[in-house]
Structure formats: structure tokens, C-alpha cells
């Protein structure tokens, strides 16, 4: 059952198309993340759901109500922005109570609600502090408490973590996710950070140039990207084209690749190989889809080393591979050293035909 339903939504800024034919349904209690590069329209989509932008055409319905033309105040949501957006002259308690005040809640009731909300975001007893006395992460927790204080049916988060340092960002993202699940509040979050999207979302909506590219669970968009853009944008990828020469065999520039999936002989296929699926081999033992390669770039990144490899004996383009530090056991991955690698047959993920 769709709780929020966006149908055929379009938005132009002059000649510029910010949103093109957006179709999206969100279930009650779901956490949906809008993900894409800068300028892809994700914030515009969130602001349109909030009524802070008006679409040129299309409809939005929420909990069975057509809200397409309603002003923000008549829509039922709480929102958190990137830049905290707390009132600097109001203390924490007054900030959290802001929406309650304007809804004329009773004095005791809203004091109690403020206490509840501050406890919920892990900052009890801070009601008399001012935003300037709080860290960025604490301010964002207060912004979240304010957004949730009125018990909105929908929570909208516009890059809520991007102004925070890396450690605080990771901490707060799991807090937000836990809170969202505990409250069961339907949530739509905007981010350009793919890891954040994968870590938090029930479903991710990948956008580019105002259009939705793919909607799916984090696992689905990572393991079965719908197009090259999604494959490249979510994680790293090697996109290779090979021609089937037998039902499970394809010719990749002279290298014979065994594929776990059945292929149609004579047809060209495109595969995605994730760098972490490439295996580093020890000796010269027989192994499917193995090849020798020279390391042309090597980056040690702590938990793993990311290398760019130039395949030997074949006129193949460079391959990216990622080797876990645990398995390297002192092996050198220095530039110009030669290694033997394999691409496991099951790691050749078939891409849909290019549009």
C-alpha cells in the first residue's frame, strides 16, 4: 500500500528541467533515500513534497489525501535541513517546542513533550542551552527533536549529516535510523553520499539530471545496477563487454571468461565486476578466468588496498581491484609489480542492455 504517492511530477526552473516525470511510491514506515550527484534534483523533489516548491505538473498524495496544491503548513511533515536551522535566539527547549507553541498545545503538555523529545535524541536536560553552545551533531539532534515533536506522519531530511565531521556523521546516521525504526515514521532523506544511503535506506532512489535512474533496496542497486550510471555512482565498478562463444563462455578481447549465467552464443554482453570480487591468486594453479596483470596504481586505504591493473597479454583496458588487508599477509602491491588475478564466474554480473 502506498502511503506517499508521487505521480508524473515535473518541475522546470526556466529552461532547466529539475524534475522529469517522477514516479515514486513510499510505504508507511519506510525509509527512502534520494541519492544522486549535485544538481540531480533530489532537494527539489524533497522541497516539492514539503510544498516549499510548487511542481509544474503531476500530483502528490499523502495518506490518501491529494496534497499537490496545499501550502506547507497544511501538509503533515517535520523537516530537518543540512544547516541545523535552529533559531539562535531561542534556547533548546523553545526550539523544540516551536511547532507545539504555534499549534497552541497546553503548557504542561508541551513541556512534557519537550522533555520526551530531548530524551529521545539523547540530550536530556539541555533545554536551557542555546544552539551556539552545542556541537554540530547536538544541534542536528535538536533539529530532529523539533521536527518530530509535533508527531508528523512524514519526516523529511535534507542532507542532515553533511555538515558534520566523519565520526559524528556515522554515529548520527545510525541513531537516526534506530529512531526512525522505533517510531515507525515514514521518512524521506536526501543525500549525495552513497555509503550513507546504503547504510540507512530501506530503498534507495538514484537520480540523475532530474530523472529517476533506479529504485531498489541497497542490496539490489549495488548488486544489480540498472544502468552504467548507477553501477558507477554506487561503489566502484569495472564495466566490460564480451561476446558469447558458448552458453557459459564469453570472449573478452581474447581472454576467455566463464560466466555463471547462461549466454546466447554470438551475442555481446555487458558485465559489471565489482573490484572487491577480483581475487588475488597465489601460484600458477589452474583457475577459471585468471590472468596476469601489472599494477599501475596502488592506494593503501587501511582496511583494503585499491589497485589499478593493466592486464598482460591482452589489449584490455585497466581493471580496478580491491584486496582486503587481512588477506594480503605482507604481499606487496607496489606499482609495476606483477600479479595473477581471477574474476570468479559468479562475479560477472550481467548488465541490462544499454538504453
Site residues (vs ligand ATP, CB under 6 A): 13, 16, 18, 36, 38-44, 192
- The DSSP result for 89-145, as a single string, is TS-HHHHHTHHHHHTT--HHHHHHHHHHHHHHTT-TT-TTS-GGGS-HHHHHHHHHH
Q: Residue 44 CB, nearest distance to ligand ATP (Å)? A: 3
- The neighbouring-strand residues paired with 244 are 250
Q: Residue 48 CB, nearest distance to ligand ATP (Å)? A: 9
Nearer to ligand ATP, 13 or 300 (CB): 13
Rounded (5°) CA angle 221-225-231: 105
Taking CB positions, which residue lies at the least distance from ligand ATP?
43
Nearer to ligand ATP, 34 or 149 (CB): 34
Q: Residue 210 CB, nearest distance to ligand ATP (Å)? A: 7
Nearer to ligand ATP, 13 or 327 (CB): 13
Cβ atoms of residues 272 and 231 within 8 Å: yes
Three cell numbers written together for 316: 584490455
Q: Residue 7 CB, nearest distance to ligand ATP (Å)? A: 19
Alpha carbon distance 120, 306 (integer Å): 40
Three cell numbers written together for 308: 589499478
Three cell numbers written together for 127: 533545554
Q: Compute how many other C-beta atoms are within 10 angstroms of the C-beta atom of residue 69.
A: 11
Q: Residue 163 CB, nearest distance to ligand ATP (Å)? A: 13
Nearer to ligand ATP, 38 or 89 (CB): 38
Nearer to ligand ATP, 40 or 79 (CB): 40
Grid coordinates 555463471 are at which residue? 260
Determine which helix (DSSP H) or strand (DSSP E) holds 38, and give its type and residue range: none
Nearer to ligand ATP, 215 or 306 (CB): 215
Burial of residue 170 (number of CB atoms within 10 Å: 0-12, 13-18, 19+):
middle
Alpha carbon distance 240, 7 (integer Å): 36
- CA nearest neighbour of 291 among 323, 315, 260: 315
Give, rounded to a whole angstrom, the gap between the first and last alpha carbons of the chain. Answer: 30
Q: Residue 41 CB, nearest distance to ligand ATP (Å)? A: 4
Q: Residue 40 CB, nearest distance to ligand ATP (Å)? A: 4
Q: Residue 156 CB, nearest distance to ligand ATP (Å)? A: 13
Three cell numbers written together for 237: 565498478
Nearer to ligand ATP, 43 or 180 (CB): 43
Nearer to ligand ATP, 61 or 162 (CB): 162
Amino acid at each position: 500500500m502506498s502511503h506517499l504517492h508521487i505521480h508524473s511530477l515535473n518541475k522546470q526552473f526556466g529552461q532547466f528541467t529539475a524534475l522529469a516525470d517522477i514516479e515514486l511510491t513510499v510505504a508507511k514506515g519506510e525509509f527512502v533515500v534520494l541519492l544522486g550527484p549535485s544538481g540531480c534534483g533530489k532537494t527539489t523533489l524533497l522541497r516539492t513534497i514539503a510544498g516549499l516548491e510548487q511542481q509544474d505538473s503531476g500530483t502528490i498524495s499523502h495518506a490518501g489525501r491529494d496534497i499537490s496544491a496545499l501550502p506547507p503548513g497544511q501538509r503533515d511533515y517535520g523537516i530537518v535541513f543540512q544547516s541545523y536551522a535552529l533559531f539562535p535566539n531561542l534556547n533548546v527547549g523553545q526550539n523544540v517546542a516551536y511547532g507545539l507553541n504555534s499549534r497552541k498545545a497546553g503548557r504542561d503538555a508541551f513541556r512534557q513533550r519537550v522533555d520526551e523529545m530531548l530524551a529521545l535524541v539523547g540530550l536530556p536536560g539541555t533545554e536551557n542551552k542555546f544552539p551556539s553552545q552545542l556541537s554540530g551533531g547536538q544541534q542536528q539532534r535538536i533539529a530532529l527533536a523539533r521536527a518530530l515533536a509535533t508527531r508528523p506522519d512524514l519526516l523529511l531530511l535534507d542532507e542532515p549529516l553533511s555538515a558534520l565531521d566523519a565520526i559524528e556523521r556515522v554515529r548520527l546516521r545510525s541513531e537516526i535510523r534506530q529512531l526512525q525504526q522505533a517510531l515507525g515514521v515514514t521518512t524521506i532523506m536526501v543525500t549525495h553520499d552513497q555509503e550513507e544511503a546504503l547504510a540507512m535506506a530501506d530503498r534507495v532512489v538514484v537520480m540523475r539530471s532530474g530523472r529517476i535512474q533506479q529504485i531498489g533496496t541497497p542490496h539490489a542497486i549495488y548488486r544489480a545496477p540498472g544502468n552504467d550510471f548507477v553501477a558507477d555512482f554506487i561503489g566502484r565498478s569495472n564495466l566490460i563487454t564480451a561476446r558469447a562463444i558458448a552458453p557459459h563462455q564469453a570472449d573478452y578481447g581474447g581472454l576467455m571468461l566463464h560466466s555463471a549465467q547462461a549466454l546466447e552464443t554470438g551475442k555481446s554482453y555487458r558485465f559489471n565486476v565489482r573490484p572487491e570480487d577480483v581475487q588475488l591468486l597465489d601460484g600458477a594453479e589452474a583457475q577459471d578466468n585468471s590472468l596476469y596483470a601489472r599494477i599501475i596504481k596502488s592506494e593503501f586505504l587501511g582496511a583494503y588496498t585499491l589497485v589499478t591493473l593493466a592486464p598482460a597479454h591482452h589489449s584490455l583496458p585497466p581493471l580496478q581491484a580491491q584486496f582486503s588487508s587481512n588477506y594480503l599477509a605482507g604481499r606487496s602491491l607496489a606499482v609495476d609489480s606483477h600479479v595473477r588475478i581471477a574474476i570468479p564466474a559468479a562475479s560477472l554480473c550481467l548488465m541490462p542492455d544499454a538504453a
